[in-house]
């Protein structure tokens, strides 16, 4: 299945699965961020798998700024509720670069980069268990 912009699945709550499509525009990004507002309004801990395998276009500076502004505005909620984030990239170069960054900067929530969804889910299952969260079977 090709994802055009974003596909956010919360049916496996408290695990969120976000698939990012080949590209997206500002309106689609804002709609996604509104869905994250709803996630925060639940006021329940969660873990999230972000799959960037299909992303083909580097989001422009204005879109990155929009996402960063939202993250800054919701920093306290995210740090309080997010028990783990796993990001799937096909690019080994990106994964290694992020790993190096994490050696000198500790993310505020457990965060890992992975080549595939199975490894990402295993990481999130472990982080959820450490936080006392039970995930439904995959």
DSSP tag of 44: -
User: Buried b vs exposed e over 113-123: b needs ≥16 C-beta within 10 Å?
Assistant: bbeebeebbeb
> What CA–CA distance (Å, rounded) separates 92 from 11?
30
Confirm if 65 and 31 have CB atoms less than 8 A apart.
Answer: no
Q: Note the pLDDT tens digit of each residue in 23-53.
A: 888 889 999 999 999 999 999 999 999 999 9
Q: CATH assignment of 6-130, given 3.20.20, 3.30.70, 3.30.750, 3.30.920?
A: 3.30.750
User: Which residues, in sequence order, are CB contacts of 92 under 8 Å at separation 6+?
Assistant: 115
> What CA–CA distance (Å, rounded) separates 111 from 65?
21
Q: Note the pLDDT tens digit of each residue in 64-108.
A: 899 899 999 999 999 999 999 999 988 888 888 888 888 898 899
**In the chain, what are the domain boundaries?**
6-130
């Amino acid at each position: 299945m090709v994802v055009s912009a974003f596909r956010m699945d919360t049916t496996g709550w408290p695990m969120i699965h976000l698939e990012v499509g080949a590209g997206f525009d500002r309106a689609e990004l804002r709609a996604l961020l509104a869905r994250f507002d709803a996630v925060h309004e639940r006021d329940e801990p969660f873990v999230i798998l972000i799959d960037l395998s299909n992303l083909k276009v580097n989001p422009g500076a204005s879109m990155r700024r929009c996402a960063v502004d939202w993250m800054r505005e919701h920093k306290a909620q995210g740090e309080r509720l997010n028990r783990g984030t796993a990001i799937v990239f096909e690019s080994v170069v990106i994964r290694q670069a992020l790993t190096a960054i994490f050696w000198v900067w500790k993310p505020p929530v457990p965060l890992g980069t992975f080549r595939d969804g199975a490894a990402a889910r295993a990481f999130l299952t472990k982080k959820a268990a450490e936080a006392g969260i039970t995930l439904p079977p995959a």
